Structure 1
Amino acid sequence: MKRPASLLSLAATAIAATVLMSGCGTLGDTGSGTKASGSDDGVFRIATVSKVEGISWFEAMRTGVDQFNTDNGDVVEAWQTGPDSGDPAKQVQIVEDLIAQGVDALVVVPNDPQSIAPVLKKARDAGIVVVTHEAPALAATDSVDYDLEAFDNVEFGEKMFEQLADQMGGSGTFVGEVGSLTSETHMAWYNAGLDYLKENYPEITPVSAQPYEDDNDDSKARDNALEILKAYPDLNGFIGTSVSAGANFAAVLKEKNLTNIATSMLSLPSVAGPYLEDDVVGSAQAWNPAGAGYAANEVALAVLQERAIESGSDLKFEGYEDVTVDGKLISGSAILMIKKGQYPDGKYPF
């Protein structure tokens, strides 16, 4: 079953009914107390499209999608797919194929939000619900029903650079690396961090006008790490906004027994934890990819079932129990700072 053509008016009615009858922002059944039917078999088909399959971050996201499918198996069929590389064109083609298959909803983590926007609009025009993650600019467009963010992106970037500045003692040079220059969130964190340094630590400067790119590819990230250390032998710090960037830079530092370069990175506890314990890197931060996958699917199902989504709504995963809604932008509070000694038994949550 596709999204009703009159979704906006129905959603408005549902919101009004929810407020009048319950005064509560938690996502629940529709005002009638029944759930909307799904496809021919009564089940909604929700496909999550990752940036790239086969890397630790999106394998973790898959666990959240699978858990959502298990928890809601009576009304949904939810699964994750994605390209074998960070090529935006490959991701667009997957979305095109899913439109042709007639899925009920798409949850997409865009490699390039602007290039995928037209095909997401095509999906919505076909009656498919579209929810994005890591693409807040799309919330102001007709390409999505909602964009879900785990947190405020400026705050996340400032925290990342604050950690770097503390390690560097307030001065020196650093290199940045992002998944791609077209990755909206990676660049939002990086640019917010640069602004933070200019205001608070003007003696910390980047060695280049643009950060390196790794295309969320471990092999390229490793090559970048080797190139960076060769090109900048007196480097003081490193910022990595992709999991591949941080993990591979840390691996090369450990191989070379280098512990004098301050490092702040996006990571997973299971990836960053050992490097933090060995003092190879100084700080890491994250959000749970499983939570993002689960919560974004919950948003998609709510839209399909014509349930209200508003500030205070509970998306049924830690960090998303009390979201903020601003138009079509939904924000959680799911920042996770990863510290040395945080998991002394070596049992990492993800």
Structure 2
Amino acid sequence: MKRLLALALVIVMAVSLLTACGTAKKAEESTGQSSQQASDQQKPAESKKWKIATVVKDASNPWFVRMEQGVKKFASDTGLEAFMKGPSKADAALQVQVIEDLIAQGVDALCVVPVSPEALEPVLKKAMDKGIVVVTHEASNQQNTMYDIEAFDNNAYGAFIMDNLAKAMNYEGKYVTMVGLLTMKSHNEWADAGIARQKEKYPKMELVPEQKIESEDNQEVAYERAKEIMKKYPDLKGIMGTSSKDAPGAAKAIEEMGKIGKVFTAGSSLVSVAGKFLESGSLSTITFWDPADAGYAMNALAKLILEGKKDQIKDGLNLGVKGYENLKLKGKVLVGEGWVAVTKENMKDYNF
């Protein structure tokens, strides 16, 4: 009897041990699965290879050719699929089509430099409604964007251009302003700020009674229209440019008409476009921010949003690019400190 009881006890203990081992194994498997799931959930968002498209006004414009260098550097630094697209000329309808195509391709983010912020509102809304991150540049009035990023305060920059033009004109005489298109927000803000600066600081200067001259963001058009305005106003002394094509086009007209030293121009451009006119003296000063840095900064901002780090987008934000290390947030516009002034004397420092 005692032997039977002992045998029964051994059997019970063995069954209990097997059950415990099975339970422990299941618990271990369950714990392992839970840990793996938690690990998967905690993986940073940047582990995904985001697809970020930068859309510019005119892909053939040297300004945006330079911007593409910044986009490519961002792609190289991050390993993300970042690239640039744009129409063959600055045309809002063509730019809308480029964006439509990119939406259809399923990009994760769009970094856009609008030809016309107003014309792009519907297509950018469509992109945002589909969950695509939208960041803009040179479009402080854009409604359908998560953030607009500017190299500087537009009013301060326009005033800075005027200061350079006024100095060349010896602070007196008649002048006109030129913009790429009347729909280009930043160009018009710079022109308006330049006019305001003249009225505030340079009373001996006079704006001729003309609407802002449109260069159509084309150097040859700027050249032709500068000739027309100089013929209409023989005593014209200054032309303030905003598009990167305005001042070089005006400078070419100044050279051709034999007015070097009599008519002066200053405005946004690049040394690669305007260098020969700085050398000849037909162009006094060009001002710009490095479009490569702007391209990089837009993409870095889009990446930050894609990673779910919008809480970092505030005053003092550092995007790791010169001029964008201490951004100021005004509503949804981020403002940097990125402009430079280039003359014949320092142009060799800027080889683009």
* TM-score in terms of structure 2 length: 0.83
Q: Tell me, yes or no, if structure 1 residue 313 matches structure 2 residue 317.
A: yes
Kindly state the Cα deviation for residue 111 of structure 1 after the two structures are TM-superposed: 0.8
The separation in 2 between residues aligned to 1:300 and 1:313, in whole angstroms, is 13
Kindly state the Cα deviation for residue 257 of structure 1 after the two structures are TM-superposed: 3.8
Answer yes or no: is the 8 Å Cα contact 1:186–1:242 preserved in 2. yes
Q: Deviations over 1:263-305 (max 9, x none)?
A: 1111113333332233222211100000100000000011001
CA spacing shift, 1:212–1:69, aligned 2, 3 Å: same
Kindly state the Cα deviation for residue 209 of structure 1 after the two structures are TM-superposed: 3.2
Q: Tell me, yes or no, if structure 1 residue 298 matches structure 2 residue 307.
A: no
The separation in 2 between residues aligned to 1:203 and 1:266, in whole angstroms, is 24
Q: Tell me, yes or no, if structure 1 residue 181 matches structure 2 residue 182.
A: yes
Q: Select 1:72's aligned residue among 70, 78, 82.
A: 78
Kindly state the Cα deviation for residue 62 of structure 1 after the two structures are TM-superposed: 0.8
Give the percent of matched residue pairs that are identical in Structure 1 and Structure 2.
41
Q: Tell me, yes or no, if structure 1 residue 111 matches structure 2 residue 115.
A: yes
Q: Deviations over 1:176-223 (max 9, x none)?
A: 110011111000010111111112223322223311111212332222
The separation in 2 between residues aligned to 1:276 and 1:126, in whole angstroms, is 47
Answer yes or no: is the 8 Å Cα contact 1:273–1:338 preserved in 2. no
Q: Tell me, yes or no, if structure 1 residue 267 matches structure 2 residue 273.
A: no
The separation in 1 between residues aligned to 2:328 and 2:43, in whole angstroms, is 26
Return the structure number with greater helix share.
Answer: 2
Q: Select 1:276's aligned residue among 274, 278, 281.
A: 278
Kindly state the Cα deviation for residue 318 of structure 1 after the two structures are TM-superposed: 1.0
Q: Tell me, which stretches of 5 or more residues in structure 2 are unaligned?
A: 1-40
Task: Give the secondary structure class of the aligned counterpart of 2:224.
Answer: helix
Kindly state the Cα deviation for residue 339 of structure 1 after the two structures are TM-superposed: 2.4
In structure 2, the partner of 1:218 is: 219
**How many positions carry a matched residue from both structures?**
309
Kindly state the Cα deviation for residue 89 of structure 1 after the two structures are TM-superposed: 1.1
Q: Deviations over 1:28-60 (max 9, x none)?
A: xxxx9853157xxx3111111101121111111
The separation in 1 between residues aligned to 2:43 and 2:126, in whole angstroms, is 29
Task: Give the secondary structure class of the aligned counterpart of 1:237.
Answer: strand
Q: Tell me, which stretches of 5 or more residues in structure 1 are unaligned?
A: 1-31
The structure that has the greater radius of gyration is 2
Q: Select 1:332's aligned residue among 309, 313, 336.
A: 336
Q: Which moved further from structure 2: 159-168 or 298-307?
A: 159-168
The separation in 2 between residues aligned to 1:145 and 1:210, in whole angstroms, is 33
In structure 1, the partner of 2:232 is: 231
Kindly state the Cα deviation for residue 150 of structure 1 after the two structures are TM-superposed: 0.2
Q: Deviations over 1:96-128 (max 9, x none)?
A: 111111110000001111111121111111000
Q: Tell me, yes or no, if structure 1 residue 35 matches structure 2 residue 44.
A: yes
In structure 1, the partner of 2:62 is: 56
Q: Select 1:125's aligned residue among 117, 129, 150.
A: 129
Higher relative contact order (CA 8 A, sep 6+): 1
CA spacing shift, 1:272–1:69, aligned 2, 3 Å: same
The separation in 2 between residues aligned to 1:347 and 1:191, in whole angstroms, is 30
Task: Give the secondary structure class of the aligned counterpart of 1:243.
Answer: coil
In structure 1, the partner of 2:27 is: none
Amino acid in structure 1 at the alignment position of 2:148: D
CA RMSD of aligned residues (A): 1.8
Kindly state the Cα deviation for residue 169 of structure 1 after the two structures are TM-superposed: 2.3
Q: Which moved further from structure 2: 308-317 or 146-155?
A: 308-317
Listed as ranges, the matches of 1:331-350 within 5 Å are 331-343=335-347, 346=348, 348-350=350-352
Answer yes or no: is the 8 Å Cα contact 2:248–2:283 preserved in 1. no
Kindly state the Cα deviation for residue 154 of structure 1 after the two structures are TM-superposed: 0.4
